[in-house]
Amino acid sequence: MQDQIFNIHTEQEFTEVALHVFRHQFTNNKVYRSFCDLLYVHPSDVTTISQIPFLPIQFFKTHRVLSSSDAIQETFTSSGTTGSVFSKHFVTDKLLYQKSYRKGFEHFYGNIKDYVVLALLPNYLERKGSSLVAMVDDFIQQSNNPASGFYLNNLDELASTLNELDKSGPKVLLIGVSFALLDLIEKQQFSLQNTIVMETGGMKGRRKELIRDELHDLLGKGFGVSEIHSEYGMTELLSQGYSKGNGIFKCPPWMKIMLRDTNDPLSFNNKSGGLNVIDLANVYSCSFIATQDLARMHSKASFEVIGRFEDSDVRG
C-alpha cells in the first residue's frame, strides 16, 4: 500500500488510493468503525472522497486510534497548556513517517542533503514525544553537515553561526517556533541572502499571539528576507504542508485539504470553513481527520489557515 500512497500523480489515483485506505481503516480501526456506524456510512455506499467520514481530531485525546495490530514503535504527543489533555498518535511504522516527511520536504525544497539545518525549537526539545523534533533531528542527520544542529537558549551562538553560514554560501534552513524566532531577532538584526526562515507556529504562552501577517512582517524585517516560510503539521498527522510565503500552503500529492461547512460538518465547500485533512500516510491510524482549524481555499492545491473554532484547544 505504501508504494501506492507515495506514487500518486493524478486526482483519480488519489481518489482510488483514498477509497482503498478508507476500506482498510473501516475494517481494522475499531474507533473509526464505530464513528462511521454512528453516521450510518458503510464502504459499500462510498464512491467519492466527499462521502468518507472525517474523524474529529479530539478522538486522539480520548482513544487509541489504530488501524494496525502491529506493535507500537513510537508514541507522539501534542504540546499544550498545563493541565490539558494531550493527543497521542500511536505509530506502528516509524519508517513510514520518515518516508513521508523526507519525500514531502523533497517535493517542495529538494534534497535535504543540500542544506545546513539550524533548529530553534526550545519548547519542543524540553518535552518528550514531539513528532516535529523527530523529523527535524532526522533532517539534521541527513544534512550530514557539522554545522547543522539544535539550539535551545544559546541565541548568541546561533546568531553568529547563522551569519557565518549565510555569508559563506551554502543553503541554510532555519526552522523555529515563532516565539523563539522573535527572541532571536530581538538579539540581533540580520540581512540573510542564502537562508530559508521557516516558522512552525506557536507562541506557547511565551508571547502575545499575533496574526500571521504581523508575525511574518516582524520576522521578515528582522531576518532581512522577503518571504517567511511555514510548515503545517500536527501530532495527529504524518505528513506536512508547506508555505513559501504569504501563509499560502500546499500539500504533497498524498495529502489533501477539504473544507467543511462551519454549521454542517457533513457538508463541504470550496471557499472557507473547517479544515479537514486527508493524510494517506496515516494508513495505520486514521487518514481522514476533521481538525479545529479554520481555512480558506486559494485554489484546488493551496489553502490558508485563518483561525480556529471558538473554544478549540490551544495548540502549536
For residue 152 the three cell numbers come to: 535551545
Q: Is the pLDDT of residue 253 over 90?
A: yes
Question: If residue 37 lies in a helix (H) or strand (E), which one and from where to where?
Answer: helix 30-38
The pLDDT tens digits of the residues spanning 217-250 come to: 999 999 999 999 999 999 999 999 999 999 999 9
pLDDT reported for residue 212: 87
Contact 282, 55 (CB under 8 A): no
Can you give the three-state secondary structure of 124-137, one letter per residue? HHCCCCCHHHHHHH
Identity of the amino acid at 16: E
Contact 25, 59 (CB under 8 A): no
Reported as a pLDDT band with limits 50, 70 and 90, residue 315 is very low
Distances (CA, A) of 178 to 16, 74, 164, 235: 38, 26, 23, 18
pLDDT reported for residue 314: 43
**Read out DSSP for 243-303?**
ESSTT-EE--TTEEEEEE-SS-TT-EESSEEEEEEEEGGGTTS-SEEEEEEEEEEEETTEE
The pLDDT tens digits of the residues spanning 181-223 come to: 999 999 999 999 999 999 998 755 555 677 888 999 999 999 9
Q: What is the CA radius of gyration of the chain?
A: 19
| Mean pLDDT, residues 74-103 taken together | 88
Q: Is the pLDDT of residue 1 over 80?
A: no
Q: How far apart are CA 16 and CA 11, in angstroms?
A: 9
Residue (of 277, 227, 283) closest to 252 by Cα position:
277
pLDDT reported for residue 82: 46
Distances (CA, A) of 141 to 130, 134, 282: 17, 11, 24
DSSP 234: -
pLDDT reported for residue 310: 63
β-bridge partners, 53:
none
Of 7-21, 75-89, 294-308, the poorest mean pLDDT is in 75-89
Q: Is the pLDDT of residue 79 over 80?
A: no
Q: How far apart are CA 94 and CA 99, in angstroms?
A: 9
β-bridge partners, 260:
268, 274
**Cα torsion at 285, 287, 293, 295 (round to 10°)?**
170
| Mean pLDDT, residues 173-183 taken together | 94
pTM: predicted TM-score of the whole model, two decimal places: 0.92
Q: How far apart are CA 228 and CA 221, in angstroms?
A: 10
Residue (of 54, 33, 22, 87) closest to 290 by Cα position:
54
Looking at per-residue pLDDT, the higher value among 170 and 139 belongs to: 139
SS3 call for 12: helix
The pLDDT tens digits of the residues spanning 130-149 come to: 999 999 999 999 998 999 99
